[in-house]
A and B are shown apart, each in its own frame.
Chain A
Amino acid sequence: MWKAKQGYFLILPALLVLIPISIYPLVSTFRLSFHEWNLFKSKSMGLFVGFANYKRALIDPFFQTSALTTCIFVSLSVGIEVCLGLGISLLLNKDKIFHKFVKRILIIPFILCPALIGYSWRFFFNPEFGIMDYLFKSTALVGREVVWLGDKRWAMAVLLFTDIWQWTPFMILILSAGLSSVPRELCDAAGIDGASKIQLLRFIIIPLLIPTLGVALIIKTIYSVKMFDKVFVLTQGGPGRATEVLALYTYREGFIFFHMGYAAALAYLLVIILIVLVTLYSRILYRETK
């Protein structure tokens, strides 16, 4: 009854649109990464240079620092967000009106425009009239003299803080969805058998949450590696190159200096990093659940 021919007819229009805007760029960028091309100087693609662009990236000190910055940003943002998300989702996992209200407002940071968030946090951390600056300094969490975005370490901290503000609610929502699927009877039974809250968490809730945690971890890692907009408006990679992540470095090479071949190679290195990370994660998770 369901004739395959009709099925192909149905998916064809979507594929015809997706192929030129996804497969074609993927192939084209790959090809480009083996060529020399300065878009300023010539209208057509330059000479084939083999792996020269990739080799150049590996010895390029700016690439190395931005790769390191990306690693720091990704590991800290993902780590902190998953931990905070888990803690807060456990905190909110109750059928109380106030808890439910807080769950409802959790989507706000996530749907706000990242560029707006970036600029606003830049404003909040202004050392003269920023609200966050005031909050942190009046509670004596940091010293008076801190100039947030002018200091290498603090600039990264502000960037992380911004990202954590935007993404932790997303983690909480995902993990809350996971928590609500943990069977109540199981927790009750463990309680009757005398398990403490911590044992309950360690031996029942966390193991059951592993698949959800895995999805959250993978999605967030990918978005952290790709993160561009917030760093662009918040610090523009500065001070110096302290917060220049790979996505920003690729953007600069490609669309400020028009080194198309080199930018293509950088973009593909990012693809490789993403593939490695995702396979690693799924391996670990697969082993855990087996």
Chain B
Amino acid sequence: MRKPLRLFFSGLEYILVLLVAFAILLPVAWIILSAFKTSVDTFSLRVFFIPTLRNFSHVLLPPHRFLKNLVNSFVVSGTATFISVILAIPAAYGFSRFRLFAKQHILFWIISLQFIPQAVILIPLFIFFRSVNLLDTRLCLIIIYLSIGVPLSIWILKGFMDDIPKEIEESAMVDGASLARILWDIVIPLAKPAIIVAAILSEILTINEFLFALVLTDRNAVTMPIGLLSFHTNYGILWEKMAAAGVLMMIPVFIFAFLIQKHLIRGLTLGAIK
């Protein structure tokens, strides 16, 4: 290729890559900027303005309930994640090592749970929770979030455990170690990276979940995503306050994601892409 032409193409390439970066970052940057604006500045496109922390204090202090929503979110998705991982570790190990009846079918069923429309799960559970007066409690959300966390964790952990060589466990068995001992002393330490990935992914997915929380909560157990709806008032949408709440939501999720970013794609495609 002639030199000027090549220069033109590599310049074009950089411009396109820059455009991609810009397209991704602009909306996020704009949310963060808006969070520090006064309500007057919100209605302008100004990038330079006198920043204020009023939105954050408005969102976090009573009478606004966002702090409560934040606590709810962390309690609900934290508990659901914790239970999911605790259940998934032995299950994944069982699926990885043992010959079980209809194993492939059970595994396929577990992976396909992710693809069922939420309404199919939600309708009967809503009716059930309503009949036992569990609506609008953290407990009912924790229960329903297990349907997200458990399959995800089993799948991630099983994929990882398949790659761990059996020999260490077998020699431990020969030495007379019990299954519980092997799980605790050998498998869990070896699978620790995968356990962290599974936990963080299930945390991210449950903390962002919308439909279940929308239907099952009303006032006391409202989580952050549903809490955003409270900025949509009769007087219009309070953008700058919502942006402040959005920034508060972003921080933990960003930290989680950057901790595990290499494994994120493998996890989200349930191991289909390595």
Contact = CB atoms under 8 A, between A and B. Distances in A.
B186 to A, nearest CB: 14
Contact-size category for B: 35 or more
Interface in B70-98: 83, 87-88, 90-91, 93-95, 97-98
B164 interface: no
- Which of A112, A216, A222 has most B Cβ within 10 Å? A112
A129 B124 contact: no
A135 to B, nearest CB: 9
Contact of A119 (B45, B95, B237, B261): B237
Contacts of B143: 21
B20 interface: yes
A233 B123 CA distance: 21
Tell me if B's interface is mostly helix, strand, loop or mixed. helix
A284 interface: no
B225 interface: yes
Contact of A112 (B226, B253, B265): B253
A182 to B, nearest CB: 14
B211 A229 contact: yes
B67 interface: no
B16 interface: yes
Interface in A6-21: 6-11, 13-15, 17-18, 21
A178 B273 contact: yes
Given A2-B99, A123-B237, A229-B210, A99 B261 contact: no
Interface stretch (A51-59, A73-81, A263-271): A263-271
B13 interface: yes
A6 B98 contact: yes
B24 interface: yes
Contact of B119 (A14, A28, A247): A247
Contact of B147 (A21, A212, A232): A21
Nearest to A7: B98
B204 A255 contact: no
Contact of B27 (A105, A165, A216): A165
Contacts of B43: 128-129
A2 B117 CA distance: 37
Contact of A267 (B101, B123, B249, B254): B123
Interface residues of A, number: 89
A29 interface: yes
- Which of B120, B179, B232, B239 has most A Cβ within 10 Å? B120
Contacts of B28: 108-109, 112
A112 B151 CA distance: 22
Given A13-B91, A123-B237, A254-B126, 18 more contacts: A4-B98, A9-B94, A17-B83, A18-B150, A21-B125, A21-B147, A22-B121, A29-B121, A32-B123, A105-B25, A113-B207, A113-B208, A114-B208, A177-B266, A228-B118, A247-B117, A260-B127, A271-B117
Interface of B: 13-14, 16-17, 20-21, 23-28, 30-31, 34, 42-45, 83, 87-88, 90-91, 93-95, 97-101, 106, 110, 113, 115-127, 130-131, 143-144, 146-147, 150-151, 154, 170, 173, 179, 204, 207-208, 210-211, 214-215, 224-226, 228-229, 231-232, 237, 239, 242-243, 246, 249-250, 253-254, 256-257, 261, 264-266, 268-269, 272-274
8 contacts: A9-B94, A25-B125, A43-B131, A98-B14, A174-B269, A228-B211, A267-B120, A271-B117
